[in-house]
C-alpha cells in the first residue's frame, strides 16, 4: 500500500468491517420496536394512556377496555388539538426507506472497504438523526401550538415534552426514547467504531 | 309417622313458632346476634378502596324483575342487570331489541339464578334466571352482563318457579309449573275439575352449547301438584333431574289448609336421558305446539319419591350421591340415596302410583332423616363434606355432616331465612368459606325507611367449626336464590370492540352520520361521542315514523352515552362500541330536546340536540 494513501482512501480493517456488519444488523429492531413512547397520566388514568411512536406507525396502548390513541384524540379535541392521524405523518412512509438505505450503505461500505464510504454513511446518518429530532420536536410544537380557536377549553399553547416529564393541564406527560432509538444510537456508535478501528491500525502500521 | 304423632308435632311446632315470633318481635329493635368478634368480622369483610372482592354474588331480584350483582366479602351491591323489567338506568326496555325481548310484559318475577356448568362446576358463560310470573326463562351473558334472550312464555308451563337449575354440562335448564292449569294454556275448565283435568308440567329447556340459545327440549305431563323447586343430578345422579312438589292432595281453595293434609308429598325424579329417548321414539303428544311425554304412555321417564310434608328445596350433594329433600312443615330433612333409588326402580319397589307414575318405597330409598330444626327449606354444601340447611320457622342455619348425619352447629338468622347460597355451593366442587343467607324479613336491622322494607342478606363465615356472622346487607325485593362464583372465573369485557360490531346500521365516523327520509319514514344514523351527537338536529313531520340508529364510537371503559328525548318517554343508553335502535312515532308536534342522560364528560351538559316536529 502506498504511504501517500489519504485518510479517506484507507482500506478498512476486518474489525471495522465487522463493526459495519453489526451496524447494519443492529438497525433491524427499528422495524419492530417503538422509537419513542409518551405516557399521559392523570387521576382517571393512573395506568397512563400510552402512545408508541414507531418508524412506520403510531400505536396507542390497547387493552380490551381501552384504545389509547382513540382516547388521546377524544381528550385532545376539547383543547382543539388536531387528532393524531397516521396519514398526517409522511415520516411513516419515508423513514423505513431511510433505515433500509442506511443498512445497505453500511453493507456497501463493508464490501468496498474504504474509509470514505464509512464517512459518507456517518455524515448522512448524522444529518438524518438531527433532522429527525428537529422534525419530531417541530411536530410536537405544531400540535401544541396550532390549537383550534373554537375549542371548548382554551389552554395556552404548549410543546409536549420531547424528553422527560411535563405537566399539561391534569396530565403528567412523560416522553422517552425506546428500543428503536437505542438501535439508531448504537448504529452511530458502531459507525464511529468502524472509523476508529481503522484509524488505529494505520497509526500502528 | 302416625297421624296422632304428626298432629302433636304440628301443634308443638305451632307453639314453637309463636315463641320464635314473639322473640323476634321483642328483640326486633336491638341487634340480637352475638356482637363478639366485631373487629374480626370487620377485617374479614373490609375490602379497601381500590381492592376487589373475592367472589361475585348474583342474587335474584324477585318481583323487581332484576338480577343484582354484589361482591363478597364486602357485600356491596355493584350493579343491577335488568331482565324482566324496563330499567331506564341502562336504557333497557327502551331500544328496539330489548323492547322486543320484553314483549307485552313490563314485569317478571325473577326467581332462581343458575350459572352454566361444565362437568358440574360453574364455567361462567351464562346465568339463567326463571320468571315465576310469566313463565319465561332468561339468559344473561356473563361476558357483558347483559340479558341476551328471554325464552317464553314457555308452552304449557304455568308459574315457572321450579326453575332454572342447570344439568352438569348445561345440556338443559329446568322449568316447570307451580300452578297446574288445564292444558294447553288458554283452555278453560272449571276449578272443580282440578284433580282430574288440570295438569302440571316439568320441562327441560335445551341450551345450544355455542350460542347459549334456549329452545324447548322436552316436557313431561305431570299430576296437578305444585312443582316447587328443583335441582339437576350430577356425578352419581347425572342424567336425572329432581323437582319437589307440594299439594299432592290435588286440592284447591285455601291451600294453606287443603294442601297440608297429607304427611308426605313428593320429589319427582326424571331420567332426562330416557325423556330424550322417548322423544326420539316418537312417544309424545303434541300439546300447545310442543312435544309432551305422558308418563302413562312411556314408563321409565319419571318416578315419585315420597318426601316429608310440603317439601320446598331439593338439593343434590356435590358427588351426586344424596338427594336432600326438605319438608318445610316438619323438622327433618331427608337424605335419599341415589343408589338405593336406582335399586328400588330396578326391583320395582313401588308403593303405588299417581296417574301412572310409580311411587318408590320411602323406607328403602332414604339414608337418613336429619333432625335439622323447624321449617327446613334449602340445602347447600361446602368443601369439607358439610351441608347447610336454611330453617325458615326457626330462623337459623343448621350445619350438618353428610354421611354421619349429625347436626354440628347452628346459627341464628335475622330474620326468617329463605334461600341460602354457599360459595359455588351447588356445584360438584363447592369452595366453602362463605355462606349467604337470603332472608325474608329485616325487621329494623337498618335505618328505618318506612313501611316498605328491604330484605336482609347476611354473610356468614363457614371456614371454621362454628359459623360466624360477618355482615348484614340489605337488598331490594326480593332475593330468592343466588349464585356465588369465584371472581377470577369471569372475565367480562367493558368495551364492545369495534371489530365485533356487526350491526349494519353502525357508523364510526361523524362524516357518515345522516338523516334519510322515505315517505313518512325517517331513518337517522347517529354518532354519540364525547361530547356531541351527530346529527344534533332532527327535523321530522308530525306522524313520521322515526328510527334512530345510534352508535357510541368510544372505545374506552365507562364512556357510556344516553339518548333521552324530552316527553317522548325514551331513554336509551349506549355502551362504548355499541349500536342501538330507537323507534318511535313523532306524534306530538313541537320542539323537543334530546340529550345525553349518562354523564360522560366535562361537556356532558352540552351533549344535546333538538327534535323538531312540524305540525300536520
Please name the member of B493, B554, B603 whose beta carbon is closest to the beta carbon of A64.
B493
**Mean pLDDT score across all residues of chain A:** 91
**Which residues on chain A are in Cβ contact (under 8 Å) with B606?**
152
Taking only the tens place, the pLDDT of each residue in A136-163 is 999 999 999 999 999 999 999 999 999 9
Specify the pLDDT at position B443: 85
Q: In the numeric block, which cell numbers belong to residue B488?
A: 377470577
Contact B554 A70 (CB under 8 A): yes
The whole-angstrom separation of Cα B150 and Cα B140 is: 9
Every domain range in chain B assigned CATH 2.130.10.10:
154-370
Residue A69 Cα, gap to closest chain B Cα (Å) = 10
Q: Are B421 and B484 in contact (CB under 8 A)?
A: yes
Residues of chain B in contact with residue A67, where contact means CB-CB under 8 angstroms, are 495, 555-556
Cβ contacts (< 8 Å) between B529 and chain A: which residues? 74
Count CB-CB contacts under 10 A for residue B447.
6
- Say what the pLDDT of residue A7 is: 83
User: What top-level class would CATH report for the domain B498-614?
Assistant: mainly beta
- What is the C-alpha separation between B125 and B115, in angstroms, rounded? 7
Q: Indicate the SS3 state at residue B325.
A: strand
- Who's near B311: CB < 8 A, 6+ residues apart? B228, B244, B245, B246, B265, B266, B267, B325, B326, B327, B328
Q: β-strands B214-222, B290-293: how paired?
A: parallel
To test the contact with chain A by mutation, choose from B532, B552, B556 the residue with the greatest count of A C-beta atoms within 10 A, namely B556
- Residue B268 sits at the vertex; the CA angle it makes with B263 and B272, to the nearest 5 degrees, is 170
H/E stretch holding B113: strand B110-118
Contact B555 A70 (CB under 8 A): yes
**Which residue in this structure is represented by grid cell 309432551?**
B292
The model's pTM: 0.90
For residue A118, give Cα distances in angstroms to A3, A101, A125, A128, B26: 21, 13, 10, 15, 98
Please write the tens of the pLDDT for every residue from A54-106.
Answer: 999 999 999 888 999 999 999 999 999 999 998 888 899 999 999 999 999 99
Kindly give, in sequence order, each residue whose CB lies less than 8 Å from that of residue B316, ignoring residues fewer than 6 positions away.
B231, B232, B233, B234, B237, B242, B322, B323, B324, B426
| Cross-chain residue pair B555–A66, CB shorter than 8 Å | yes
Give residues 62 to 121 of B whose Cβ lies within 8 Å of A: none
Question: What per-residue confidence (pLDDT) applies to B329?
Answer: 87
Where do you find CATH 2.60.40.420 in chain B? 498-614
User: How would you label B48-82 residue by residue, b for 16+ Cβ within 10 Å and e otherwise?
Assistant: eeeeebbbbbbbbbbbbbbbbbbbbbbbebeebbb
Instruction: Tell me the three cell numbers of residue B196.
Output: 282430574
CATH code given to domain B154-370: 2.130.10.10
CB B537 within 8 A of CB B491: no
Does B494 sit within 8 Å of A67, measured CB to CB?
A: no
**Chain A within 8 Å of B292 (Cβ-Cβ)?**
no
Q: 3-state DSSP call for residue B174?
A: strand
Output b/e per residue, A49-86; b: 16+ Cβ within 10 A. bbbbbbbbebbbbeeeebbbbbbbbbbbbbbbbeebee
Q: Mean pLDDT of successive 10-residue segments in chain B (616 residues)?
A: 49 52 46 66 96 98 97 97 98 98 97 98 98 98 98 97 97 98 96 96 98 97 97 98 96 90 93 97 96 97 95 97 93 96 98 96 97 96 98 96 97 95 98 97 90 94 96 92 98 96 96 96 97 96 98 95 98 98 98 97 95 97
What ipTM was assigned to the predicted interfaces of this complex? 0.81
DSSP B202-226: EEEEEE-TTT--EEEEEEEEE-S-E
**DSSP label at B62?**
B
A65–B494 C-beta distance less than 8 A? yes
Query: In the predicted model, what is the mean pLDDT of residues A106-135?
Result: 94
**Cα dist from A22 to A101, A189, A190, B45, B601, whole Å:** 15, 11, 7, 60, 51
Q: What is the pLDDT of residue B330?
A: 87
Question: Cβ of B529 and A74 within 8 Å?
Answer: yes
Given a cut of 70, whether residue A1 has pLDDT beyond it is no
* pLDDT for the residue A200: 63
B555 at A interface, C-beta within 8 A: yes
Q: Do A152 and B556 touch (CB under 8 A)?
A: no
pLDDT of residue A64: 87
C-alpha grid cell for residue B7? 298432629
Amino acid at each position: 500500500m502506498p504511504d501517500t494513501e489519504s485518510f479517506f482512501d484507507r482500506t478498512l480493517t476486518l474489525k471495522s468491517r465487522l463493526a459495519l456488519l453489526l451496524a447494519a444488523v443492529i438497525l433491524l429492531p427499528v422495524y419492530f420496536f417503538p422509537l419513542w413512547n409518551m405516557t399521559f397520566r392523570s387521576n382517571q388514568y393512573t395506568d397512563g394512556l400510552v402512545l408508541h411512536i414507531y418508524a412506520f406507525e403510531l400505536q396507542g396502548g390497547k387493552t380490551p377496555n381501552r384504545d389509547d390513541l382513540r382516547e388521546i384524540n377524544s381528550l385532545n379535541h376539547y383543547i382543539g388539538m388536531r387528532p393524531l392521524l397516521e396519514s398526517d405523518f409522511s415520516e411513516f412512509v419515508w423513514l423505513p426507506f431511510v433505515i433500509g438505505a442506511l443498512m445497505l450503505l453500511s453493507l456497501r461500505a463493508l464490501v468496498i472497504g474504504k474509509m470514505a464510504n464509512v464517512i459518507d454513511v456517518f455524515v448522512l446518518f448524522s444529518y438524518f438523526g438531527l433532522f429527525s429530532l428537529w422534525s419530531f420536536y417541530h411536530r410536537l410544537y405544531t400540535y401544541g401550538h396550532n390549537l383550534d380557536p373554537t375549542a371548548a377549553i382554551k389552554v395556552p399553547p404548549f410543546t409536549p415534552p420531547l424528553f422527560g416529564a411535563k405537566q399539561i393541564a391534569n396530565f403528567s406527560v412523560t416522553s422517552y426514547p425506546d428500543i428503536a432509538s437505542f438501535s439508531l444510537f448504537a448504529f452511530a456508535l458502531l459507525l464511529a467504531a468502524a472509523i476508529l478501528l481503522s484509524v488505529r491500525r494505520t497509526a500502528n502500521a | 309417622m302416625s297421624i296422632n304423632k304428626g298432629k302433636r308435632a304440628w301443634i308443638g311446632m305451632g307453639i314453637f313458632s309463636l315463641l320464635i315470633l314473639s322473640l323476634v318481635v321483642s328483640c326486633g329493635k336491638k341487634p340480637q346476634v352475638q356482637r363478639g368478634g366485631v373487629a374480626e368480622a370487620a377485617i374479614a369483610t373490609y375490602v379497601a378502596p381500590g381492592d376487589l372482592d373475592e367472589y361475585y354474588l348474583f342474587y335474584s331480584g324477585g318481583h323487581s324483575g332484576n338480577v343484582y350483582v354484589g361482591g363478597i366479602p364486602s357485600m356491596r351491591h355493584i350493579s343491577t342487570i335488568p331482565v324482566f323489567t324496563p330499567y331506564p338506568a341502562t336504557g333497557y326496555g327502551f331500544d328496539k331489541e330489548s323492547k322486543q325481548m320484553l314483549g307485552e310484559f313490563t314485569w317478571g318475577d325473577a326467581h332462581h339464578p343458575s350459572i352454566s356448568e361444565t362437568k358440574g362446576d360453574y364455567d361462567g358463560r351464562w346465568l339463567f334466571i326463571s320468571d315465576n310470573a310469566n313463565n319465561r326463562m332468561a339468559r344473561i351473558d356473563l361476558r357483558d352482563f347483559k340479558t341476551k334472550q328471554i325464552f317464553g312464555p314457555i308452552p304449557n308451563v304455568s308459574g315457572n318457579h321450579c326453575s332454572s337449575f342447570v344439568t352438569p354440562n348445561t345440556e338443559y335448564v329446568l322449568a316447570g309449573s307451580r300452578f297446574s292449569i288445564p292444558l294447553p294454556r288458554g283452555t278453560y275448565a272449571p276449578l272443580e275439575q282440578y284433580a282430574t283435568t288440570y295438569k302440571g308440567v316439568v320441562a327441560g329447556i335445551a341450551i345450544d352449547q355455542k350460542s347459549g340459545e334456549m329452545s324447548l327440549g322436552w316436557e313431561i305431563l305431570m299430576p296437578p301438584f305444585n312443582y316447587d323447586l328443583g335441582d339437576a343430578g350430577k356425578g352419581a345422579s347425572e342424567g336425572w333431574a329432581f323437582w319437589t312438589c307440594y299439594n299432592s292432595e290435588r286440592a284447591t281453595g285455601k291451600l294453606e289448609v287443603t294442601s297440608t293434609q297429607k304427611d308426605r308429598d313428593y320429589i319427582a325424579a326424571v331420567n332426562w336421558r330416557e325423556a330424550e329417548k322417548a322423544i326420539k321414539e316418537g312417544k309424545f303428544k303434541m300439546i300447545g305446539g310442543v312435544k309432551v311425554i305422558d308418563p302413562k304412555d312411556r314408563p321409565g321417564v319419571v318416578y315419585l319419591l315420597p318426601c316429608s310434608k310440603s317439601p320446598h328445596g331439593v338439593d343434590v350433594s356435590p358427588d351426586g350421591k344424596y338427594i336432600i329433600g326438605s319438608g318445610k312443615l316438619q323438622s327433618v330433612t331427608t337424605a335419599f340415596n341415589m343408589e338405593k333409588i336406582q335399586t328400588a326402580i330396578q326391583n320395582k319397589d313401588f308403593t303405588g302410583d299417581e296417574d301412572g307414575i310409580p311411587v318408590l318405597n320411602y323406607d328403602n330409598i332414604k339414608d337418613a332423616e336429619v333432625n335439622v330444626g323447624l321449617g327446613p327449606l334449602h340445602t347447600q354444601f361446602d368443601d369439607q363434606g358439610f351441608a347447610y340447611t336454611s330453617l325458615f320457622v326457626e330462623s337459623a342455619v343448621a350445619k350438618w355432616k353428610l354421611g354421619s348425619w349429625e347436626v354440628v352447629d347452628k346459627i341464628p338468622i335475622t330474620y326468617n331465612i329463605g334461600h341460602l347460597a354457599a360459595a359455588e355451593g351447588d356445584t360438584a366442587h363447592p369452595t366453602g368459606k362463605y355462606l349467604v343467607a337470603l332472608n325474608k324479613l329485616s325487621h329494623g336491622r337498618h335505618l328505618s325507611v318506612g313501611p316498605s322494607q328491604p330484605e336482609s342478606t347476611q354473610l356468614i363465615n363457614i371456614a371454621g367449626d362454628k359459623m360466624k356472622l360477618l355482615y348484614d346487607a340489605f337488598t331490594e325485593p326480593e332475593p330468592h336464590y343466588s349464585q356465588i362464583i369465584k371472581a377470577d372465573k369471569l372475565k367480562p369485557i367493558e368495551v364492545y370492540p369495534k371489530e365485533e360490531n356487526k350491526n349494519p346500521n353502525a357508523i364510526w365516523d361523524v362524516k357518515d352520520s345522516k338523516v334519510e327520509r322515505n315517505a313518512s319514514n325517517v331513518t337517522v344514523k347517529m354518532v354519540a361521542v364525547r361530547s356531541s351527537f351527530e346529527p344534533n338536529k332532527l327535523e321530522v313531520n308530525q306522524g313520521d315514523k322515526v328510527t334512530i340508529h345510534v352508535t357510541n364510537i368510544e372505545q374506552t371503559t365507562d364512556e357510556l352515552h344516553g339518548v333521552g328525548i324530552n316527553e317522548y318517554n325514551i331513554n336509551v343508553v349506549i355502551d362504548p362500541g355499541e349500536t342501538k335502535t330507537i323507534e318511535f312515532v313523532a306524534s306530538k308536534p313541537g320542539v323537543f330536546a334530546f340529550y345525553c342522560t349518562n354523564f360522560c364528560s366535562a361537556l356532558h351538559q352540552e351533549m344535546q340536540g333538538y327534535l323538531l316536529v312540524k305540525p300536520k
